Amino acid sequence: MNFFKEYKKQVLGIVAVIVAITAVVSMGKKSNATFVDNTLGFIVTPLQKITSSTFGWFDEKIHYYQEEINLEDENEELRAKIELLEAENKRLSLYEEENKKLSQLLEISQKYAHHDTTGAEITGKDPGNWYYTFTIDKGSKDGIEKDMVLINAGGLVGKITETGRSYSKAQSILDSRSSVSAMSLRTNDLGVIKGDYSLMDKGLCKMEYIDAESEIMEGDEIVTSTLSDIYPAGITIGYVKEIVTDNNGLTKYAIIQPDVDFKHLSTLLVITDKKEEVAED
């Protein structure tokens, strides 16, 4: 027994080999199963089942992992395609936005066709939500000069205050140093549009020096007047939001809501002919 226990594996291996050889030799010669055949069937059949089951399990796992690899590859390809489509979509959105800006500039230039104009892009601004002072991408090499007037689809933006070779600095009508001669389009009542510290953070400005007897009222459109040395007459500035009578009772002022969106400026037109040049023509 001790011998069998010690060499159990070897004995079983020898028996299995003998049985296998016997089975091969007797194959095809006998139609009835012998004791050896039965013994072989008893030993081999379970082994065949185990082997078949094991190979089936491995095959299933290999197939599963292969499918996982294929799915991962497909996902990588899909991710790459999605990235390309997103990039293309962004590119198309930029083109669409650029076309929109160009269309707006074309519309403005047609509205002010009696002026010479050139398009410009805003490249920088002072800190804050509103455009008080800013920089554009056109300068002296493009024919830009100080005091040239800036407009966009809403109307008057401001003027050029300083020029470099390839850039210019500008001041909007919201800036507290700005001053524009203006009038009510409905009544012709005159006043001066000025930036105001208390209003500029709200995107508003003030029209001062309005005669107390004037008939200006809320909702009136305010435009540049003929009295300005810089600004051409008739450019829309904004609309009267509120009328306030001064303490002296002799004058009143109006709070003006500009028609230009001074929170989202990007492109504009520079009127390149000076007012005196237009007058001479």
pLDDT in tens, 126-140: 888 889 999 999 999
Task: Tell whether 239 and 151 lie within a shared domain.
Answer: yes
Of the two residues 23 and 133, the one the predictor is more confident about is: 133
Task: Tell whether 121 and 100 lie within a shared domain.
Answer: no
Where b means 16+ CB within 10 Å and e means fewer, 123-156 reads eebeeeebbbbbbbebbeebebeeebbbbbbbbb
Q: In the chain, which ranges are continuous DSSP H helix?
A: 2-6, 8-26, 35-111, 197-200, 275-280
Q: In 27-129, which ranges are continuous DSSP H helix?
A: 35-111
Confidence of residue 43 (pLDDT cuts 50, 70, 90): low
**Residue 281 CB partners (closer than 8 Å, separation 6+):** none
Q: Which one of 50, 80, 111 terminates a domain?
A: 111
Which residues constitute the domain of residue 265?
Answer: 117-280
What integer pLDDT is reported at residue 223 of this predicted model?
97
Q: In 112-259, which ranges are continuous DSSP H helix?
A: 197-200
3-class secondary structure, 119: strand
Task: Tell whether 86 and 130 lie within a shared domain.
Answer: no
pLDDT at 281 exceeding the cut of 50: no
What integer pLDDT is reported at residue 227 of this predicted model?
93
Relative to beta strand 267-271, strand 221-224 is unpaired
What integer pLDDT is reported at residue 21 of this predicted model?
56
Task: Choose among 245, 142, 260: nearest CA to 204.
Answer: 260
Task: Name which of 45-59, 73-87, 118-132, 143-157 the model is least confident about.
Answer: 45-59
What integer pLDDT is reported at residue 180 of this predicted model?
97
Confidence of residue 86 (pLDDT cuts 50, 70, 90): confident
Task: Tell whether 176 and 233 lie within a shared domain.
Answer: yes
Q: Which one of 76, 94, 111 terminates a domain?
A: 111
Relative to beta strand 168-172, strand 133-136 is antiparallel
Q: Which residue has the tokens 């002919």?
A: 273
CATH of the domain at 217: 2.40.10.340
What integer pLDDT is reported at residue 10 of this predicted model?
59
Element of type H or E holding 161: strand 155-163
Question: Distance from CA of residue 4 to its chain's centroid?
Answer: 82
Backbone φ and ψ for 55, nearest 5 degrees, come out as -60, -35
Task: Tell whether 28 and 156 lie within a shared domain.
Answer: no
Question: Distance from CA of residue 195 to its chain's centroid?
Answer: 32
- Which of the given ranges, 57-71, 113-127, 217-231, 267-281, has the highest pLDDT on average? 217-231
Q: Total domain count for the chain? A: 2
3-class secondary structure, 217: coil
Task: Tell whether 106 and 122 lie within a shared domain.
Answer: no
Identify residue 138 by its one-letter amino acid code: K
pLDDT at 218 exceeding the cut of 80: yes
Q: Which one of 86, 111, 136 terminates a domain?
A: 111
Task: Tell whether 213 and 235 lie within a shared domain.
Answer: yes
Task: Tell whether 79 and 204 lie within a shared domain.
Answer: no
Task: Tell whether 71 and 144 lie within a shared domain.
Answer: no
From CA 23, how far away is CA 26, in angstroms rounded?
5
Task: Tell whether 101 and 121 lie within a shared domain.
Answer: no
What integer pLDDT is reported at residue 55 of this predicted model?
58
From CA 15, how far away is CA 42, in angstroms rounded?
13
Q: How does DSSP classify residue 11? A: H
